[in-house]
């Protein structure tokens, strides 16, 4: 066999192994848990924005209402509890990770159902309070699921596959909470829509119960030598809340600041644009059913395609190159929305715009999840990943809350989308710097898939 033929065979095997990895039981479970993680998200963001728009709430107020999602950005504050605190009774049955997941899922379902019983036109404050509860419980669920995903992966090589499965389940949930919720609202009512979404949280509960129970590392007594033997609480507090951050900065040095900045800016265009997406579609003149069919149904499948492509491409080009390409795509594709603003309510133009943006979002999302997962230490999985995902969401949540003010201040949606595209430039520069300053990635070698 020639060298070229051998290289071609190795390439085929590596692609085959990458595809076969999606059939692993833990990867399939990750798909279900990703669904549970994604379902609440749109219900307190763009789907809720559409409901508030129809209820006559102003764009500025809708933008400010998106601040309920700040819970996702500060979840690292209580992540040490998820990392270290076992829940009574159910914790002994399911283990620490799954017990926290189940508790959070029950609270999310109850709060979404509460939203279904509220009329935002007459009780906007009550709707916001219920949405805040959803956000905090959902952020807690994400913390536990992220820790489970990282610990359940057979090896670090499987992180991209698990990340792609997360994206797949997450995006299927976005179909339900986006297109599904809009269809139900169009043909029945918003109340029926949100009640249905509350019931769908049962899918995640079932997935949690049947999920693999990973080995749970015993807490490390990092400060044992420095603290007196009787200071058990202080030692626990140090190990739970301080040691994870010290560990990360000790491993990465000054590059840790650059890493956190790159993570924070990576999806900024999508976060800011996303709050105004449904108000933009409705303002152009699209119906809820058209928005559901193109943006929330077809568009999500394009995101899924991007996520799966990302999981496969990571094997061939390496994580950092994939991260840079994703940052470029996330920024550039926001310009398609500026173009759509000049075209008007044309379904074909909407389809092209949504396709480009969602393919880029799925690709970039897989790259970012895999990258953040690779940064964690197994001793502090939940806390460190919560730190990274909090930095990932914080700038976008802050700026997203001002998105309605931006649209009104810039005189319309066209310049707003030009601005959101420009917001992606810092991420491109930061990822490029990380590629230059970090150690080179080893080339991916062909390997057999695991079951």
- Phi and psi dihedrals of 50, rounded to 5? -65, -45
CA 127 to each of CA 44, 49, 119: distance values in angstroms, whole numbers, following the listed order: 10, 12, 8
**pLDDT value at position 237?**
65
The answer to whether 43 touches 112, Cβ cutoff 8 Å, is yes
pLDDT at 450 over 70: no
Rounded-to-integer distance, Cα 375 and Cα 381, Å: 9
Span 264-284, pLDDT tens digits: 899 899 888 888 888 899 889
Distance from C-alpha of 449 to C-alpha of 445, rounded to nearest angstrom: 12
Strand, coil or helix: what is 195? helix
Is the Cβ–Cβ distance between 359 and 167 less than 8 Å? no
Q: Render pLDDT for 129-172 as a digit per residue (tens, 0 to 9).
A: 999 999 999 999 999 998 888 887 655 556 667 777 887 888 78
Flag the least confident range among 179-183, 252-256, 395-399, 425-429: 395-399
Average per-residue pLDDT for the chain: 82
Confidence of residue 349 (pLDDT cuts 50, 70, 90): very high
How much is the pLDDT for 224?
42
Nearest to 143 by CA among 72, 205, 195: 72
Structure tokens at 63: 């933008």
Residue 343 to residue 199: CA distance in whole angstroms: 39
Residue 398 confidence (pLDDT)? 84
Pick from 100, 147, 73: nearest CA to 382? 147
End-to-end CA distance of the chain: 30
User: Are the C-beta atoms of residues 18 and 108 closer than 8 Å to each other?
Assistant: no
- 88, 305 in Cβ contact below 8 A? no
Helix axes 25-43, 159-175, angle to 10 degrees: 40
Q: What is the band of 244 on the pLDDT scale with cuts at 50, 70, 90?
A: confident
Mean pLDDT of 91-110: 92
415's CB contacts (< 8 A; 6+ apart) are 338
Multiple choice CATH, 21-211+232-437, 2.40.440.10, 1.20.1250.20, 3.40.50.720, 1.10.645.10: 1.20.1250.20
7 has pLDDT over 60: no
Higher pLDDT, 343 or 151: 343
How much is the pLDDT for 38? Answer: 93
For residue 52, the surrounding DSSP H or E stretch is: helix 46-54
The CA distance from 251 to 311, in Å, is: 26
Helix runs in 240-294, H state only: 243-252, 255-266, 268-284, 288-291
pTM of structure:
0.68
């Amino acid at each position: 066999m020639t060298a070229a033929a051998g290289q071609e065979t190795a390439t085929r095997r590596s692609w085959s192994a990458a595809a076969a990895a999606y059939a692993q039981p833990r990867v399939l479970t990750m798909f279900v848990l990703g669904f549970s993680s994604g379902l609440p998200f749109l219900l307190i963001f763009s789907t809720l924005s559409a409901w508030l728009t129809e209820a006559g709430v102003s764009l500025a107020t809708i933008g400010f209402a998106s601040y309920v999602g700040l819970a996702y950005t500060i979840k690292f504050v209580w992540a040490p509890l998820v990392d270290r605190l076992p829940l009574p009774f159910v914790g002994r049955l399911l283990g620490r990770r799954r017990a926290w997941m189940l508790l959070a899922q029950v609270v999310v379902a109850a709060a979404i159902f509460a939203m279904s019983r509220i009329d935002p036109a007459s009780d906007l404050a009550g709707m916001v309070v219920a949405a805040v509860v959803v956000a905090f419980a959902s952020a807690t669920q994400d913390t536990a699921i992220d820790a489970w995903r990282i610990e359940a992966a057979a090896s670090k090589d499987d992180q991209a596959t698990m990340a792609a499965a997360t994206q797949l389940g997450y995006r299927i949930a976005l179909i339900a909470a986006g297109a599904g919720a809009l269809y139900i609202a169009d043909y029945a009512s918003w109340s029926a829509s949100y009640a249905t979404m509350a019931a769908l949280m049962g899918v995640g509960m079932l997935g949690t119960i049947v999920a693999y129970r990973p080995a749970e590392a015993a807490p490390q007594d990092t400060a044992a030598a420095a603290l007196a033997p009787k200071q058990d609480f202080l030692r626990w507090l140090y190990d739970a809340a301080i040691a994870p951050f010290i560990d990360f900065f000790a491993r990465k040095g000054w590059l840790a600041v650059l890493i956190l900045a790159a993570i924070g800016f990576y999806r900024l265009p999508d976060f800011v644009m996303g709050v105004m997406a449904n108000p933009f579609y409705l303002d152009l003149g699209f119906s809820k059913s058209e928005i559901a069919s193109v943006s929330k149904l077809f568009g999500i499948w394009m995101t899924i395609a991007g996520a799966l492509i990302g999981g496969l491409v990571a094997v061939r080009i390496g994580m950092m190159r994939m991260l840079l390409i994703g940052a470029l795509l996330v920024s550039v594709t926001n310009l398609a929305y500026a173009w759509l603003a000049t075209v008007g309510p044309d379904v074909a133009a909407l389809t092209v715009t949504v396709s480009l943006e969602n393919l880029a979002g799925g690709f970039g999302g897989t790259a970012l999840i895999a990258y953040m997962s690779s940064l964690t230490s197994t001793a502090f999985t939940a806390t460190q990943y919560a730190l990274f995902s909090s930095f990932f969401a914080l700038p976008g949540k802050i700026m997203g809350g001002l998105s309605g003010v931006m649209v009104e201040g810039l005189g319309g949606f066209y310049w707003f989308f030009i601005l959101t595209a420009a917001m992606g430039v810092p991420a491109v520069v930061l990822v490029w710097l990380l590629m230059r300053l970090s150690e080179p990635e080893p080339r991916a070698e062909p390997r057999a898939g695991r079951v």
